[in-house]
Structure 1
Amino acid sequence: MPVPSHPTRRALLFGSAGTAALLAGGPGALLGTGSAAPRPALPVADTAVSLDAAPVTVDLGSRTVHTWGYADRVPGPEIRVTAGGTVSARLHNNLPQETTVHWHGLRIDPTMDGAPGLSQVAVAPGDVFDYRFTAPDPGTYFYHSHVGTQLDRAAYGALVVEDPAEPLGYDAEWIVVLDDWIDGTGTDPDAALNLIRTGPVQTMHSTLLGGTAGHIDYPHYLVNGRTPEAPEVFTETPGRRIRLRLINAGADTAFRVALGGHELTVTHTDGYPVVPVTVDTLLIGMGERYDVLVTLADGVFPLVAAAEGKNARAFAVLRTSAGEAPSASVAVPELRGRLLTLADLVVDPSVDLGDTPARGVDLVLGRGRDGTGWTLGTSSAFDSPPLRVPVALGERVRLSFTNTTRMWHPVHLHGHTFQVRGATGRGPRKDTVMVRPRESVAVDVLAENPGEWMLHCHNLYHSELGMMATFGYGETPPPGPDMPGMSGMSGPG
């Protein structure tokens, strides 16, 4: 259901795209001077939540599965807090193995980051851990387990940090969480990991991604925990302006997203504002988030998230009037329309890191010698122990990622954001960036959050198989939890 336009806006939502009316209103329409009302100022507020990690049974719409999660639904509980407010989350571990919670994209204290063996000791079965942190930056984020393959179950949920002085004008918002699903379908993520580890495994190709699209041909692809056979239906009113918060919580799948009959005006990526750009479709990698504004047309429309290179899709329905709902296989011309590229994204001046020279660090995304492992280091070989990039407080570091493999990698840095450096140097602020095969991507990081932080591929199976490094302050790590081997550090973040 749509979220009403009042400060709490607690319901889960979803939707996408048209901007002809928005563009007719001019740039000021984005700031609340068009048809949509400006967002009311919000008081700084705190949020408390209890997360019970446990075996659960969830209804995906077309089937019921047994899995591990935080509630009897997928995704887990939505968490909202105002920027500057405090999140207090008590984790109860009722799983048969240890677990943590990682707060993906947030610049928080490292002891709250949920990186097992690096920032905290993983929470043992039967134990409780209290996460408490201030949410500094408005934006669209999510939280998830950072142990083993638990993310590829149901151990994740949306996290929205609201701006107390929201500059965008819109009437309501929807959250859309995309996922690829295998657990409880006759196999599980641990079995999938073992197959990828022992190889060879089937691979799927995508011209758009420049090579191999993924390892797993999932039986289901989900929008807010629903399969295309029993999709979620969102009901709204024609002419209303909607803020769509897109989150890719998948483990091995990039999604190409479009809303039939509409355009998408992209306003944020990974929580940070960009100069608005209007497109027909966008590609979202694992761990990435996009915010878009949409002015809704009159009718019944398909929201499609094509599983890139996998010949399948996640699907939902947007209804603004009576009429027959489209089928899950309906053709959506917008999927073949103007595609958002990284070069299209220009940072909003308010969050531009500027042009201060940066120290360069060249990093290589590669394969292990046996052809099954994955690496992130100074060469395509494994670093043992894992590579550590040392930085000093206040330093600016330029990380240049070169992909020597035949597969794309969404690279994620914990506890920081970075600015992508393109031809003009004015790329977006992000915390997760796609690096395609034979491509190099440079990002600038301002070292302003002391601690020891994970830097890794957000393909769950690549990080589990070694595509992991650390980003730490000072020449040697400070005293902390015992550092395990690579398998103990693994997991997406």
Structure 2
Amino acid sequence: MPSHGLSMPMNRRGFFALGTGLATAAALAACTNDSSGSPKLVQPDSDPVRAAENARRVAGAATREVTLRAEPTTLDLGGVQVRTWAYGGALPGKEIRLAKGEVLRADLTNALPTSTTVHWHGLALRNDMDGAPGVTQPAVGPGGTFRYEFTVPDAGTYFFHPHVGLQLDRGLYAPLIVEDPADGKDYDLEAVVVLDDWLDGVDGRDPDQELRKLRQQGVGGMGMGGMDHGGMSMSTDPNAPLGSDTGDVKDYPYYLINGRIDTDPVTFTGRPGQRLRLRVINAASDTAFRLAVGGHRLRVTHSDGFPVQPVTTDNLLLSMGERYDAVIELADGVFPLVASAEGKNGRALALIRTGGGTAPAADVRPAELSAPPLTGDRLVAAESVRLPARKPDRTLEVALGMGKGDYTWTINGKSYPDHAMLDVAQGERIRLRFVNHTMMFHPMHLHGHTYQVVNPAGTGARKDTSIVLPMQTVEADFDANNPGQWMVHCHNAYHGEAGMMSILSYTR
């Protein structure tokens, strides 16, 4: 039978003892204060968490039951065979689609040789279902099972993946689409587009080996990524907004759309004149993508699941963990949908076919890619999803840094699991102030909440993952209305695994 969450209480020392054993617990004991004067944590399996879930749950809500099996498998990427891990032997895993307000019941079976979890990226779900090992649940061991059950409160484009090690940089991810009954007025059909960078199983490579290589190289092998320039600001080229260092893994062999390489692309079909909604997910681990459709312009309508005031653009930049929805009006012919690896060599390709004609070559580069890309900081939230005007009750600084000489990434000077908790209280308006002291961009992701990016007009996009540019600052406001213990981390999988993670901790 599946297990159903946590029953044991946890204190500040106990988080990591769940998943990583006595050594981690001892390390935490040395650097945390567990005295009677310490704030009391709102545990993942506690009355406030259950009350928040009950408030989301609608009487009579339908329950969607799915099964997930994480397993070793051989995948065909389009003429390239790789041995990897995936859900149900497919890449991406089978899409989960349900309606806003429904309940998802997902039974995970772990057929991997190591522990795993499932994190439901972007959803404001109940804390004990978030899939953060040692924080919200014990990791599910080989041969183990776990039942995830929660209400999906918000419509939008999401995805799910493990939160253990570098498993995301294998094949363990799949789309999660939450439909809104009000959707459909501005489009006729849709396509889910999942972007990825791929190295697992190619020439003997795997993500864990790649991390070991990065650690051996240290800062010296990384260019400028780890350099701390104090308070120096950095200007950026509009056509290279991420700066000159856009990733640590420079030589991914392949870039994929829906699990296919560019010489054997997936094809989406429609009819001329139809409006196609693209739901685009960047499931990559170390690569941002610039996305365009040849012969078309993108009308961007949603960011990280939430509506924005529509903006029409030639191309769009997505960092790891971000999702954007865009509508195009289909012309007649065969058109390339290209996701160019930003600052790297290579691209992912799909085709959109509405009529006859010859497919473009695998190395096609649409003219639309040449314009400076649209980025999330330029988007404005739709009025219906803006936070009510309110001054923050608390500002928490999240300083992004790197160790000296070695491949260690930090938040507030600490490398996870050593970390300074970011304490909040239920009901507060919180401002997160992400300050990047490095020369690399970081896509920072907050679990369990959607924040509003702070702009002068108070109208920034609602998001859960934002690019923080080199030597720049991003501020984001959210209401502390989903109690528990929540990860905040860089969604570059290698940065997160090398320490750039912390915990947003509800206390009382």
Aligned counterparts of 1:463 and 1:324: Cα–Cα separation in 2: 43
Q: 1:409 to 1:294 in 2, by over 3 A?
A: same
What SS does the corresponding residue of 1:146 show, helix, strand or coil?
A: coil
What SS does the corresponding residue of 2:246 show, helix, strand or coil?
A: strand
What SS does the corresponding residue of 1:226 show, helix, strand or coil?
A: coil
Counterpart in the other structure of 1:356: 390
Q: Does 1:68 align with 2:85?
A: yes
Aligned counterparts of 1:225 and 1:286: Cα–Cα separation in 2: 16
Q: Does 1:86 align with 2:119?
A: no
Q: Does 1:464 align with 2:482?
A: no
Aligned counterparts of 1:317 and 1:121: Cα–Cα separation in 2: 42
- Kindly report which structure 2 residues correspond to 1:6-405, keeping only aligned pairs within 5 A, or say none: 45-166=62-183, 168-185=185-202, 186-200=204-218, 201=221, 207-216=240-249, 217-337=251-371, 339-358=373-392, 359-377=394-412, 380=413, 382=415, 385-405=418-438
Aligned counterparts of 2:68 and 2:213: Cα–Cα separation in 1: 31
Counterpart in the other structure of 2:481: 448
Q: CA offsets, 1:185-214, max 9 Å, x none?
A: 021001001111222445699933123110
Letter in 2 for 1:314: A
Deviation of 1:95 after TM superposition, in Å, equals 0.5
Deviation of 1:423 after TM superposition, in Å, equals 2.4
Counterpart in the other structure of 2:462: 429
Counterpart in the other structure of 1:40: none
Q: 1:124 to 1:381 in 2, by over 3 A?
A: closer
Deviation of 1:337 after TM superposition, in Å, equals 2.3
> 302-311 vs 352-361, which deviates more?
352-361
Aligned counterparts of 1:138 and 1:257: Cα–Cα separation in 2: 23
Preserved contact between residue 59 and residue 73 of structure 1 (Cα < 8 Å): no
Preserved contact between residue 279 and residue 326 of structure 2 (Cα < 8 Å): yes
Preserved contact between residue 318 and residue 375 of structure 2 (Cα < 8 Å): no
Preserved contact between residue 369 and residue 381 of structure 1 (Cα < 8 Å): no
Aligned counterparts of 2:64 and 2:291: Cα–Cα separation in 1: 31
- What TM-score, normalized by structure 1, do the two folds share? 0.85
Q: CA offsets, 1:158-185, max 9 Å, x none?
A: 0000102326421111000000000000
Aligned counterparts of 1:384 and 1:170: Cα–Cα separation in 2: 45
Counterpart in the other structure of 1:12: none
Preserved contact between residue 303 and residue 376 of structure 2 (Cα < 8 Å): no
Aligned counterparts of 2:167 and 2:476: Cα–Cα separation in 1: 29
- CA RMSD of superposed structures (Å): 1.7
Preserved contact between residue 211 and residue 437 of structure 1 (Cα < 8 Å): no
Q: Does 1:474 align with 2:507?
A: yes
Letter in 1 for 2:211: L
> 169-178 vs 205-214, which deviates more?
205-214
Letter in 1 for 2:328: V
Letter in 2 for 1:90: D
Preserved contact between residue 204 and residue 309 of structure 1 (Cα < 8 Å): no
Deviation of 1:111 after TM superposition, in Å, equals 0.6
Preserved contact between residue 116 and residue 164 of structure 2 (Cα < 8 Å): yes
Aligned counterparts of 2:67 and 2:253: Cα–Cα separation in 1: 31
Q: 1:224 to 1:451 in 2, by over 3 A?
A: same
Structure 2 unaligned spans of 5+: 1-59, 226-238
Counterpart in the other structure of 1:21: none
- Count matched residues: 431
Aligned counterparts of 2:423 and 2:269: Cα–Cα separation in 1: 50
Deviation of 1:376 after TM superposition, in Å, equals 1.1
Aligned counterparts of 1:125 and 1:73: Cα–Cα separation in 2: 20
Q: Could you tell me the percent identity over the aligned residues?
A: 52
Aligned counterparts of 1:285 and 1:126: Cα–Cα separation in 2: 34
What SS does the corresponding residue of 2:503 show, helix, strand or coil?
A: strand
Aligned counterparts of 2:100 and 2:141: Cα–Cα separation in 1: 31
What SS does the corresponding residue of 2:352 show, helix, strand or coil?
A: strand
> 407-416 vs 384-393, which deviates more?
384-393
Letter in 1 for 2:85: W
Structure 1 unaligned spans of 5+: 1-42, 476-493
Q: CA offsets, 1:60-95, max 9 Å, x none?
A: 002011101112221001001111101111000110
Aligned counterparts of 2:359 and 2:135: Cα–Cα separation in 1: 49
Letter in 1 for 2:284: G
